[in-house]
């Protein structure tokens, strides 16, 4: 009789552990960070260098 009560108690405890529906785990997509294609940093320095060269040429010509 004790085994029957113990089995019934374990069955009742186990059934409450599995209450509800099983939901598959949701896997989020990995975050991919893409750097924007920037122009070369040397490209931004060409214009000031050319202007400086023109000003130096004008000053040297005087």
pLDDT tens-digit profile of 27-48? 888 888 887 766 556 667 888 8
Share of the chain above pLDDT 90, in %: 8
Instruction: Please tell me the pTM assigned to this model.
Output: 0.34
Distance of CA 20 to the CA centre of its chain: 33
Torsion, Cα of 33, 34, 35, 39 (10° steps): -170
Q: What share of the chain is helix, strand, coil (3-state, %, to 5)?
A: 55, 0, 45
Calpha distance 53→47 (Å, rounded): 10
pLDDT at 24: 80
pLDDT at 33: 84
Calpha distance 54→50 (Å, rounded): 6
Which residue's entry shows tokens 């409450």? 16
């Amino acid at each position: 009789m004790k085994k029957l009560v113990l089995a019934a108690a374990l069955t009742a405890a186990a059934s409450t552990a599995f209450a509800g529906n099983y939901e598959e785990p949701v896997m989020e997509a990995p975050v991919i960070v893409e750097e924007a294609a920037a122009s070369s940093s040397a490209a931004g320095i060409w214009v000031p260098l050319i202007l400086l060269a023109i000003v130096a040429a004008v000053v040297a010509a005087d």
